[in-house]
Amino acid sequence: IATEMSRRGLFVIEPPYKADELVGYLKDFQYEQKLRTVPDDKRAMIKVSFILDDNTKLLEQKNPVTLYSCNNLKKKGRCRMSGKSVLRNGIKRLELKLNLTVSIETGSGKPWHEIKVNSSYSKEGSSIPNTEYVKVHLFRQAARVALKGMIPQKTKVELVLKDDANELAAKMIAAGAYKSALDNLLRKKRQELTSGDYYHLGLCSELTQDLASALRYYNTAMDIEYDEHISNYQNRIKRIINN
């Protein structure tokens, strides 16, 4: 997690070692020591806490059976009940539950993000997987979920154009000319713009990396007329900006 956060330029994650300890660890590997000043808003501390509930039991299964004795030389009544008994079988049950919490604080001690992951595994039978193997699987699974919740992910968003909007601008957006479509719509008088036009302004702003303007245009479109699709775009941009 620390490597990914640093690689993506979100934060510089520094291990909790003292400088002289690091030099001692690295001198045998001929590392060149480089000192750099990192502002507090780009420093971070990752805290990981977890609870692993390991519950492995050996259960006894009882199966009642009826015993018969038979004489195949007889033509009738070959078998008669001779008694009853109980078969006892040992059954293993493995149940593991992992509650993982990963929290990140900035260098100034302010909480930045926290994610909680709950993962579990259970199996019952005459043979069960190795407990240590299952633990490793649970931790890796939880780490993937935690990492996905903390670093930017690429997602595909369907581009939908509105009919109640300037036709030329819509064609420009469809052709990928977002800046031209933006300029075209901004030359219009405000009273001429429809909810669809403001939605298209939001699209163009978003596609040219101006998220603040995109949210403002989506808000205006929603003020003119409620639209569930625009509402989804509006909420998505809010989440991106807030996170």
Q: What is the pLDDT of residues 130-160, one digit of tens each?
A: 888 888 888 888 887 877 776 666 667 778 8
Give the pair of three-digit tokens for residue 194.
Answer: 């429809």
With a threshold of 0.85, does the pTM exceed it? no
Burial string for 137-155 (b: 16+ CB within 10 Å, else e) reads ebeeebbebbeeebeeeee
Q: Domains in the chain, ordered, with CATH? A: 2-54+92-150 (3.30.160), 167-242 (1.25.40.10)
pLDDT tens digit at each of 243 positions of the chain: 555 555 655 544 455 545 555 455 445 444 343 434 445 566 667 777 778 888 777 665 677 888 888 888 887 888 888 888 776 666 778 888 888 888 877 777 778 778 888 888 888 877 778 888 888 888 888 887 877 776 666 667 778 899 989 999 999 999 999 999 999 999 999 889 999 999 999 999 999 989 999 999 999 999 999 999 999 999 989 887 876
